Structure 1
């Protein structure tokens, strides 16, 4: 007879996300997950198979929460203004309850930047976002291919930077940063 779960999977994933967000994947142990999630290792293994499974569930849940923001970005037809709005929407997502959290996806992507971790591509579709930046920037017919390439690269690096600086900077400083980024476009 199968065991009945005595916990809400969404709740335990949120707790695990906070732990991974704070400590990173490598520094988070199964014991830490067990304590933070409030469930035993048997339940963790039964539901998620292993630490990697918990982490992937956290990434999936985090991305699901951002889905509406990215859908709005994808569907927008205002070119550069859509990209700028994405930056502001992202900033608002990363400041929660007056906490400086930064971006969980950016932090995780950076942790695996030097490795060929099997879930590196699961974390962030960097190339997909770059392509959307290109499409939105190309709405300006005066931009040549070289300018488009440089601006796409500048924006993707700026978005990654934004995910990091929101962890250590106050909202007013980040707003100034965003304004300066878009003064360059």
Structure 2
């Protein structure tokens, strides 16, 4: 039975998310993907090629999840629920509490330039997803018409990165929920 690229990328994502780009060797990739080196190279060209697909897939999935919040009658309340869902993963998924892009930023110096650019572009893509949510929240009357949405989107992304990092090292989900609620309250006050 042939394994799909989607399944391979999912397995590689777990490995890269847990260990980081630099710490993952070809033997580990072979084991995680249940493939021989030649097959990995044939399918993905290189470790970098596979990692690029992992990051691009992660960004697209995250963008879709964030943008989906904008379709709800209260986009900001849905965004808060989304924040809670990604920061309170159960113990065996603790590694997912930290944003994969942020996890990758710690390896930036070791990354090839093309991968660095994919990470930077990914951060910009997610900021644009936050912007869409804020635009819809403004349209819903939950954000002032005078608010600088670009600046708020950047602020919101900073909050999201910080909250996910804190959630990664903190085992108190209730504290994380309170911090998320505070950030969303500050967003409402700033807007």
Q: Tell me whether the two structures share a fold, i.e. TM-score over 0.5.
A: yes
For residue 162 of structure 2, give the secondary structure of its aligned residue in structure 1: helix
**Per-residue deviation at 1:149?**
5.5
In the alignment, what sits opposite 2:76?
80
Helix, strand or coil at the partner of 2:168: coil
Q: Does 1:123 align with 2:117?
A: no
Structure with more of its chain in helix, by fraction = 2
Decide whether the 8 Å contact of 2:127 with 2:154 is kept in 1: no
Q: Return structure 1 stretches of 4+ with deviation > 6 angstroms.
A: none
Aligned to 1:100: 94
**Aligned residues of 1:79 and 1:136 also touching (Cα < 8 A):** yes
Q: Is the 8 A contact 1:24 1:108 kept in 2?
A: yes
Gaps of 5+ in 1: none
CA displacement at 1:38 relative to structure 2: 2.0
Per-residue CA shift, 1:108-152, capped at 9, x if unaligned? 355449985232245341331242243145334646335x56543
Once the two structures are TM-superposed, the CA of residue 73 in structure 1 deviates from its matched residue by: 1.1
* Residue aligning to 1:40: 36
Q: Is the 8 A contact 1:107 1:164 kept in 2?
A: no
Q: What SS does the corresponding residue of 1:144 show, helix, strand or coil? A: coil
Counterpart contact for 2:127–2:153, Cα < 8 Å: no
> Are the aligned partners of 2:102 and 2:161 in contact in 1 as well (CA < 8 Å)?
yes
TM-score by length of 2: 0.73
Residue pair 2:127, 2:157 contacting (<8 A) in 1 also: no
TM-score (norm 1): 0.75
Q: CA deviation at 1:31?
A: 2.8
By how many angstroms is 1:6 displaced?
4.7
**By how many angstroms is 1:71 displaced?**
4.5
Indicate whether 1:22 and 2:18 are aligned.
yes
Range that drifts further, 22-31 or 115-124: 115-124
**RMSD (CA atoms):** 3.1
Question: 1:64 Cα deviation (Å)?
Answer: 5.8
Equivalent residues, number: 178
Deviations 1:72-102 (A, max 9, x none): 213224243233233223335xx14553122
